[in-house]
Structure 1
């Protein structure tokens, strides 16, 4: 990729996203890197306004984020100069189509940056689960009095507890890195990771059934694919030891939620769920009130000031493109079949 001048860049994302993504310093940097108007936001490339249509016809780069229009052949016909897509978020599956690869359009995403807060959330959940924080807080609220906590929490603690990681994705690998300072035994299940890869990661490669049977805490970081639908079904959930904690920050469909609900209602398992299936549980779902469940509204990924990390990473890639350099973190079409 060689560029004799600053590229023409068009921002393409859902309404309200750019305002959260860009601080003044980001707009200033974008103005330095690109020769186009950083204030123009394309919300619908399939039915563009005259101003967006004109910008799309001249665009060398689309700077995308959540809510971007799928880049169908019809949309790409309006963008004859387009050479790259810089995605300031994680997965590109919702808007990058086969037509992009057929055109030879280069694609990069900020998935590595978005993995960081998810891994941090997971680390916190693992350590709090090991200390029985949720259940002891519930008991404290229930009793509202002094109690022999040492006796009741005699099996708590994070010394040599076994943690099972399902999926050596970007997030899964970052979780592995964050867990290294702690006295934990870490198991990993990922069908694409060899024994040598696992050794390099410092973990024990384990079949999924065995991982479920041995882990005090299981955390899921696999992609949503047909092959991973209900990856943890009733049979595998039953393999988890009594009192185990299941953490899900990936996608709700990876767990058979009805089977999980049965385990949670019985009190046998605990869960930290940042995603569910459906994404917002019905108003009468027991997940909202079960004392052994910590339910959060899909907040593990980038939000608030963490969005600026995504913008910084995407602008770094745009700067490389403008300098005629390859992307530091390109998306390869061959990896999309087994990634998020």
Structure 2
């Protein structure tokens, strides 16, 4: 008897994805209450690309034959927590590298917009006010990149024309093509000389509230903190307090909590620029994700080792 095809769930955005391996049965799910097939038959699950972790993890407890979860994001903190609660081991893969260039592009945009006062100029434009003001330049600034993976490296690529003095921090000491990468234990010391701090690290037990009141107090006056990683890497209450004092500024693509509630003080804190977690969301996103999914499914169908496996 021929075995039944192995079941794969893909997001509805992949409805027209062609060239997928034969021998697999594909369902498309939009994150809604109606499932495209019995979740108990699913062996390879690609969750929809939504910010609500509850949506993507909802069917997991019903997926009793699940072997692989392929995330469409680089960060997998919510999925990791949910998978730890399952009775059987599931392979988790992320989308490392897919979002790197777009996220780096946004990080640079946040730096430039914040330093050059674009939020103030935008508000003045809304009021039809012509208000020339002098603001800092990025050229020659000391920049600290915290989390030197694919995004951190891509950010440094974009900083090259600005002649910045870049310092790199990761979990442990190591070398990189552009210079040394310092272990995170040196972060308090290195933060004291950083005019711009770029957070591109993953969220895990070691990085939750990595940027706390003590670290913020070590930043020099006028420093800019940019977070394109995950909101809980920063202690939000400590950040609000530090920025309210006017000593530092912040530009955030991610927040804690997220989405940011309408009444949250971050919205009205002077010196804070906020974008709604759009680092990887550009017109080039889906073609790159399709390439990743096609490659991973080919490996899965052939019984080969998958790329981007995340330890949890």
Pair in the same fold by TM > 0.5: yes
Match of 1:255 in 2: 234
Q: Are positions 1:287 and 2:266 aligned together?
A: yes
Matched position secondary structure for 2:192? helix
Measured on the aligned residues, the alpha-carbon RMSD in Å equals 3.6
Kept in 2, the 8 Å contact 1:87–1:314? The answer is: no
Q: 1:75 to 1:322 in 2, by over 3 A?
A: closer
**Contact in 2 for aligned 1:242/1:269 (Cα 8 Å):** yes
Indicate yes or no: 2:8 matched with 1:10: yes
User: CA shift at 1:113, angstroms?
Assistant: 0.8
| CA distance in 2 between partners of 1:120 and 1:330 (Å) | 22
Of the three residues 106, 109, 113, the one matched with 1:124 is: 109
In the TM superposition, what are the counterparts of 1:1-340 in structure 2 within 5 Å? 8-11=6-9, 18-19=11-12, 21-22=13-14, 24=16, 26=17, 28-30=18-20, 33-41=21-29, 52-53=37-38, 56-57=40-41, 61-66=44-49, 67-69=56-58, 71=60, 75-76=63-64, 79=65, 84-90=68-74, 91=76, 92-97=79-84, 102=89, 106-135=91-120, 144-145=129-130, 147=132, 149=133, 152-153=134-135, 156-192=136-172, 194=173, 196-197=174-175, 199-203=176-180, 205=182, 207-302=186-281, 306-323=285-302, 325-327=304-306, 329-333=307-311, 336=312
Q: Retained in 1: the 8 A contact 2:243–2:270?
A: no
What is the rounded CA distance, in whole Å, between the counterparts of 2:214 and 2:127 in structure 1? 33
Does structure 2 retain, via aligned residues, the 8 Å contact 1:216–1:245?
yes
Contact 2:94 2:310 (8 Å CA) reproduced? no
Find the counterpart in structure 1 of residue 53 from structure 2: none
Report the number of matched residues.
Answer: 300
**How far does residue 210 in structure 1 lie from its aligned partner after superposition?**
2.4
Distance 2:98 2:4 in 1: 25
C-alpha distance 290-99 of structure 1, shift in aligned 2 (>3 A): closer
Q: What is the CA distance between 1:280 and its match in structure 2?
A: 3.3
1:134 is displaced (CA, Å) by: 3.7
Provide closer, same or farther for how the CA distance between residues 181 and 298 of structure 1 changes in structure 2, counting only shifts above 3 A. same
SS at match of 2:63: helix
Listed as ranges, the gaps of 5+ residues in structure 1 are: 13-17
Q: Structure 1 residues 128 and 35 mapped into 2: Cα distance closer, same or farther (>3 Å)?
A: same
Deviation at 1:122, TM superposition (A): 0.8
Distance in 1, Cα, partners of 2:105 & 2:163: 17
Shift of 1:214: 0.9
- Residue 97 of structure 2 aligns to a residue in which SS? helix
Query: C-alpha displacement at 1:71, in angstroms?
Result: 4.5
Distance 1:242 1:38 in 2: 55
Q: Any conservation in 2 of the 1:9–1:34 contact (CA below 8 Å)?
A: no
* 1:86–1:137 Cα change, 3 Å: closer
The answer on whether the counterparts of 1:229 and 1:253 sit within 8 Å (CA) in structure 2 is yes
For the Cα contact (< 8 Å) 1:70–1:94, is it kept in 2?
no
Cα 1:141–1:168 change in 2 (3 A) is: same
User: Does the 8 Å contact 2:195/2:220 carry over to 1?
Assistant: yes
**Shift of residue 303, structure 1, vs aligned partner:** 5.8
* TM-score normalised according to structure 2 size: 0.78
Deviation at 1:140, TM superposition (A): 7.1
Question: Structure 2 unaligned runs (5+)?
Answer: 50-55
In 2, Cα distance between the equivalents of 1:48 and 1:289?
39
Structure 1, residues 77-121: CA drift from partner, whole Å, max 9, x if none?
xx2xx654443333251554486874xx65433232133322221
Higher RCO structure (Cα 8 Å, ≥6 apart):
1
- Of Structure 1 and Structure 2, the greater strand share is in 2
Distance 1:187 1:250, change over 3 A: same
Inter-partner Cα distance in structure 1 for 2:96 and 2:87: 19
